[in-house]
Chain A
Amino acid sequence: MSPSTRITRFAARDPGVGARLSGFMGHLRENGFRLGVAETDTALQALAHIHGIDPQEVRLALKAVCAGSEQEVGAFDDLFDSFWMNHGRVRQKAVSTTASAEAQHSRSTREDATRSTGGAGRQHAPDDPGEGDSASEGTGKLVASRIRQMMKKDLREMVSPQDIRAAEVIARRLGTAMRDRRSRRRKAARKGATIDFRRTIRASIATGGDPIRLARKNRPDRPVRIALLCDVSGSMLPYARPFLAFVAGLMRADPATDAYLFHTRLVRITEALRDDDPLRALNRITLLADGFGGGSRIGDNLDHFARTYARRFVDGRTVVVILSDGYDSDAPELTGQALSRLRRRGCRIVWLNPLKGWDGYEPVARGMAAALPHLDLFAAANTLESLAALETELAKL
């Protein structure tokens, strides 16, 4: 089949390249790309500088403009094909109504990018007017179709907004406890180790060039970042409530926190938790955490974390907190190896085990025993109160 016969034909009423391109942008947005009007504009400008009739060139050019991360680069080709190359079928309307409705949710360049949530997340608002099932699957249609419906449990039944608020207070305290003093950027301070030349020189003009009053600068305290890995396998279900509230609370106390759930696989829930509405955030996590309450593969998941996400999000200023009982269906050696790999990134590792709270508990689970030598802190936590009690211990890290 020659390329030209594969190209999508557009209904005649769609006027020109601008409308089709904004249709394509809408299509990308539906699939989780974060694009605003500014990108459409850039894309149009870019097309003016290439041979717009060559599909390969258009593909490369749009990829350079629209994709913004490794994952998006990977997904782009399929999305491009599904929009522009759908074998000569007529696309009814390039600018679909859902796309334009979503466009309002997506961010413009001028907004503060790191704080607000993505367009896709908004659709989970309980009061959202019915947009139809296909549009309400969050991460996008391609992804959503792949989500397996295993033992899905609704997290909203387990965690109440009051829990999250209580957890937020505790999380804030714990975050303060874990501050360290290793910032390398210096700021003006009344008492400091080094001289602030800029201000000293300024002041010395008044005294004829003799720097009599020395202005100083110091390294300010800087909070550590926290990466949370929460085990939600079957054996952990009784503790899911305080732990998930804690995760959500920590996230709200400090948006730089990174959060993951794991059972048989590892899921990053940071983006979902950034939702302003805590209940909606839990709703989004429920969608992500299929297989919730199933078996647990701690070693494998930790290893996956150490190899992928940790490279991007874990550094010497991170505390990795693992919430798990250590009952693992993987070989215990794997847990040890994964933790030692993780440690090499310079982070500190805290393992909070709900079972340790029981009288006479010994870390007999073999995975737990293999993990112990790599931990900076191994402590008990099975309620929000016991988490709060950790404040002094964490401050010593």
Chain B
Amino acid sequence: MQDWKTLQTALSDHGYVASPDLAMALHIAGTLGRPLLLEGAAGVGKTEVARTLATMLDTELIRLQCYEGLDAAQAIYEWNYQRQLLAIRASAEDGHTGQEVEQRIFSEDFLLERPLLRAIRRPIPPVLLIDEIDRADEEFEAYLLEILADFQITVPELGTITAISRPHVILTANGTRDLSDALRRRCIYAYVEYPDRETELAILAKRCPEIEPTLAGQIVGFVQALRREDLEKVPGVAEMLDFAAALAGLGINDLSQDPETLQATLVTLLKTAADRSAVPMEVTARLAGRVA
């Protein structure tokens, strides 16, 4: 039995600094074989959890990006229609009966696996990431619940396909839509917050070890102060890492050293025109001065 603290350390060895809440949720979801639902603002590293977990377990990451209008054909399986058409033509010329043809074209050979079906047919349990589940519509959510409950998929022409191995399921949501209670209750839940100063420093040290501690402190302080400003899109952890990489690439050692370059590097943090104009040079200088 793996301890949750071991899990936390292992994740951190693979470059992901998890909060105790998150590590415990991952541990329980893993041991009980339940799906894990992660909620939180965009850019706090929800998707990254799945990626790191896959690397850590040395298994495949199967990702299903949800969007409005996502349906079974894209999420579960689809028949390969072109090949079916060809096969029907070919066998009609060979004089096969209708029943033979039907059996042939509705066999495994003609089945195109989509993420959900693929996930339950791997010999080694993969990590199945169902990203932004709240973007899919409610009908799909209901279908997903059914699959997550018993890990089997029924194809009318083939019969029921049962899971060979149970994937580690991680769902993420960032509040586009209210999720149904049924889905929430089926899952182990963790709310991922923006990291606090220490955690974010640890993340930066893991991801960009070449940045020296003083600058790292300044970067994290600056980004955290920026998050408290009134912004439309609050910069996430990924943005912070881009910002750090940009500064390192430009050879900046101190945030207050070159205000104009600093202002220019804000393109990595502020992603809308309104936010750009909300943080003019003076504000940047004030924030940078405070953390220097």
> Within 8 Å of chain A (Cβ to Cβ): is B198?
no
In the complex, chain B residues whose CB is within 8 Å of the CB of A109: 182, 185-186
Which A22-59 residues sit within 8 Å CB-CB of chain B?
Answer: 34, 36, 38-39, 42, 45-46, 49-50, 56-57
CB atoms of B69 and A68 under 8 A apart: no
CB atoms of B34 and A42 under 8 A apart: yes
CB atoms of A114 and B181 under 8 A apart: yes
In the complex, chain B residues whose CB is within 8 Å of the CB of A204: 85, 88
> Within 8 Å of chain B (Cβ to Cβ): is A146?
no
CB atoms of B137 and A185 under 8 A apart: yes
For A206, give the chain B residue with the smallest CB separation. Answer: B98
Which B76-104 residues sit within 8 Å CB-CB of chain A?
Answer: 79, 81, 84-85, 87-89, 91-92, 98, 101-102
Identify 9 residue pairs between A and B in the complex whose beta-carbon atoms are under 8 Å apart, listed by A's number.
A36-B185, A57-B4, A64-B29, A73-B21, A112-B182, A114-B180, A201-B105, A205-B102, A208-B89
Which A164-193 residues sit within 8 Å CB-CB of chain B?
Answer: 183-186
> Within 8 Å of chain B (Cβ to Cβ): is A294?
no
Chain A contact residue count (CB 8 A cutoff) = 45
Say whether, besides A61-B24, A312-B177, A114 and B182 are in contact (CB < 8 Å): yes
Give Cα distance in the complex from A205 to B188, angstroms.
47
For A72, give the chain B residue with the smallest CB separation. Answer: B189
B38-70 CB mask vs A (1 if < 8 Å, else 0) is: 010000000000000000000000000000110
CB atoms of B69 and A183 under 8 A apart: yes
Say whether, besides A57-B4, A204-B85, A208-B92, A39 and B185 are in contact (CB < 8 Å): yes
Q: 5 closest Cβ contacts across the A-B interface?
A: A184-B69, A209-B88, A113-B181, A60-B24, A113-B182
In the complex, chain A residues whose CB is within 8 Å of the CB of B39: 69-70
* Most central of B31, B137, B176, B181 by chain A CB within 10 Å: B181
Which A192-219 residues sit within 8 Å CB-CB of chain B?
Answer: 197-198, 200-201, 204-206, 208-211
> Within 8 Å of chain A (Cβ to Cβ): is B163?
no
> Within 8 Å of chain B (Cβ to Cβ): is A67?
yes
> Within 8 Å of chain B (Cβ to Cβ): is A101?
no
Give Cα distance in the complex from A209 to B101, angstroms.
10
> Within 8 Å of chain A (Cβ to Cβ): is B25?
yes
Q: Which of these, A49, A112, A113, contacts B32 with CB under 8 Å?
A: A49
